[in-house]
Amino acid sequence: MEIVIIFTIFFYLMSTAGYFAYLFLQKNYLNRAGYFLLIAGFLCNSAAIFYSFLKSGQIPVHNLHETLVIVGWSIAGVFIIFQYKFNLRIFGIYAAPLAAIVMVFASQVSSEPVQIKNIVNNFWLIFHIISIFIGEASFVLAGGLGFMYLAQEHAIKTKKHGFFFRRLPSLELLDTAGYTCIVVGFTMLTIGLATGLVYAKMVWGKFWSWDPKEVWSGITWLLYAALLHERLTVGWRGRKAAIMAIVGLAVLLFTFFGVNFLLKGHHGEFTRL
């Protein structure tokens, strides 16, 4: 298991190096190398998750180590799909190092599984976890695209057509890709919350228990729902959408890390050190 994690980190780091080399040298083969190295890391990441599943017979979310392994897998997997669809070559300098950092952090925390009370390993739990993580990975990428949009917009407005201006995609492409990420993320988060409600009823006897994770997940859902509503009805695009994507990313990070470490609740068992 440890050797698979090491290979995953290695490929993610090599992918990061490839993307950063492409950033400076603008050689297409470096971008392709970064992309295929990320795919190799993703496959190793998948193997690590599958091995843990076979070993325990349960989806591996029994501690912070296992949860972060799935986070890294989600970020890499969602990025691979979006890279293929939008050909956002430069975006690898955000996604690849992020996946690498998550996996390095995962390797440094205990992998000893925690016995979680009342856990029922069924379809609802598996679908809940996978949907939530894919949705959150999409939001993470949307936040990164928001930062890139603001950087490119600033370069255009100030007419400082320097290093990043020549390398970042057009504002229209960044906006479209960010919107797609949010639509996918919102859809998967909605599915994840719905299946989570069913699972909660089975395990804890009620759909909603005002657990801090549930509350902040609801807040996150409402924030992105508002963003999508304003985009479709008022026409929020460009700068406003980018800023909201970044705000959403901040809320998402607090929901994942802040709630687990600062507030008590039954979800904290899944990210215990």
How do the pLDDT tens digits run along the chain, 273 residues long?
Answer: 689 999 999 999 999 999 999 999 999 999 999 999 999 999 999 999 999 888 877 788 878 888 899 999 999 999 999 999 898 888 999 999 999 999 999 999 876 665 555 555 677 788 888 999 999 999 999 999 999 999 999 888 887 777 777 888 889 999 999 999 999 999 999 999 999 888 877 776 677 677 777 888 889 999 999 999 988 888 788 889 999 999 999 999 888 876 666 666 555 555 555
Angle between helices 123-158 and 64-86 (to 10 degrees): 50
d(CA 72, CA 69): 5
Contact 241, 178 (CB under 8 A): yes
Alpha-carbon distance 99 to 9, whole Å? 8
Identify the CA nearest to 192 among candidates 268, 247, 124.
124
